Amino acid sequence: MNQENLVPLRYPLSAKGALEPPAEWAELRERCPVARVRLPSGDEASLLTRYDDVKMVLSDPRCTRRLDAEDAARISESESGGVFNAPMATALYSAGQQRWRMMLTKWFTAKRVNALKPGIVAMTDRLVDEMIESGHPADIKARVGFPLPVWVICDLLGVPDTDRDRFARWSDMMLNLTRYGQTEIDAAEAEFGAYLTAHLDMKRADPGEDLLSSLLTATDADGAGLTDIQLVATGQALLVAGHETTANMIGKMLAMLLSERRRWERLVADPSLVRTAVEEALRFDANPGFGMPRYVEQNIEVAETLLPRGTTVVCSMAAANRDENTFAGADEMTLDRSPNPHLAFGSGPHSCLGQSLARTELQTVLEVLLRRLPTLELAVPAEELRRVEGLVVGGLRELPVRW
Amino acid sequence: MKVILDQDKCVASGQCVMAAPEVFDQRDEDGVAILLNDSPSEAGTEDVQHAASVCPALAIRLSA
């Protein structure tokens, strides 16, 4: 039976250490799999923490992303509800999410991403070169984790190297729930939109091999293409979805591996574990950010609890990834864990479009660092690592290392 | 060896294509895996076993 919590928990939940899960997760999975929570906006939602429930809701067509519905919970204090109901999200929703996704999928298949790998290795080597040159201790998040995904996305979009820093700043501002005010977020969005509009005009005149050039002329099965607004929104969406998430995951993955150095040493001794180690880091990440909100369009039952139409649910994939009923020894980081059906990229038709790219970036960073800097270690005690505040995506403020 | 792919379980992670590109591909429209060859040669066995073990959805089964 589901125990009702009478006083809603404040969400997001807090945790003791930067790499530790919130204490409530285990308790909630056990006793209160559908928990009342109060979001930063003050609105209430239902939090799901069990693997089976989260997985079901993420792929259930009755639970949609219509978070701008009249009675949907707002996520943050800011009027627009942050990135989940930004104009970008609305433009893409109107494009028909699945139609839009189909036009993009071919850019993110494993084969395509494999072809990008040599370029990603070269970019990573260059960033590591520059970090080594400036000497240690170094903040590897700022040096490698943050720039790499922007470089990769800029390449994908055909954006010149010289504009990479501006891209990084826009991305940071658009994903923020509390650090910047609504005016600043709106300004960043407008600036970025104007840049992309000009960029599209350039690509229209002089098409390249990049994703946006191909989308300019692409049509779906019915022969319909994307409008300019939708194309700009696509550029925004790819940056927002692919930058902070991957950048922070690089930092957290390295922190998890270095905070217990025998993990790092095991990989140095056996680099063939890189692939499973990356999956395990994705599963084990206790600080992934907000989770995935969904709007319930028709009554559904989850963990023997009725979720009435109009409910907003928050799926905690990270809590689900620690569910002992699915993962034996869920609170242990097991570098060769297999199988590892974690939900870090979601599940079902809305699961992360860029997951192959993200995996390749994470694997590449790890491979390059194991090869170049096998003596890598944290330059501060793990207890001193701090979480970033105010982002939809969780991460560490910095990750000081030496070698 | 026989490879069985359950497309309903597939979550389009593309991991199998990374592991065994001769045996698996992804549909352009939704990234769901497709089987190029359900009886791969001896030489490809290891790759296919690897693909099955890294599939996040456990959608690949192998039989003798």
pLDDT in tens, A242-264: 888 899 999 999 999 999 999 99
Residue A130 CB neighbour total at 10 angstroms: 13
pTM of the model: 0.89
**Fold entry, domain A9-402:** Cytochrome p450 (1.10.630)
Interchain pair B56, A109: CB under 8 A:
no
Residue of A nearest to B26 (CA): A109
pLDDT of residue A29: 97
Q: Which domain holds residue B31?
A: 2-63
Average pLDDT, stretch A155-165?
90
Check residue A145 and report its DSSP letter: I
pLDDT of residue A184: 85
- The count of structural domains within chain B is 1
Minimal-distance CA residue of chain B relative to A349: B11
Per residue in A85-107, pLDDT (tens digit) is 555 666 666 557 777 877 888 78
Q: Is A92 left (phi over 0), alpha (psi -120 to 50) or beta?
A: alpha
pLDDT of residue A46: 97
- State residue A114's pLDDT score: 86
Stronger pLDDT, A81 or A154, i.e. the higher one = A154
ipTM surpassing 0.90: no
Specify the DSSP class assigned to residue A393: B
Tell me the CATH number at B49.
3.30.70.20
Q: What angle (nearest 5°) sits at the alpha carbon of residue A155, between those of residues A214 and B34?
A: 60
Q: Which residues of B touch A359 (CB under 8 A)?
A: 13, 15, 18
Burial class (CB in 10 A: 0-12, 13-18, 19+), A126: middle
Query: Over pLDDT 90: what percentage of chain A?
Result: 61
Residue whose structure tokens are 């040493």: A265
The two tokens of residue A232 are: 């700009």
* The pLDDT value given to residue A390: 62
Higher-pLDDT residue of A339 and A367 is: A367
DSSP A62: T
Whether A341 and B56 lie within 8 Å, measured CB to CB: yes
Alpha helix locations (H) across A45-96? 51-59, 87-94
Domain spans, chain A:
9-402
Q: A interface mutation test: which of B15, B18, B47, B53 has the most A CBs within 10 A? A: B18
C-alpha–C-alpha distance, residues B6 and B4, integer Å: 7
> Is A2 a residue whose pLDDT tops 60?
no
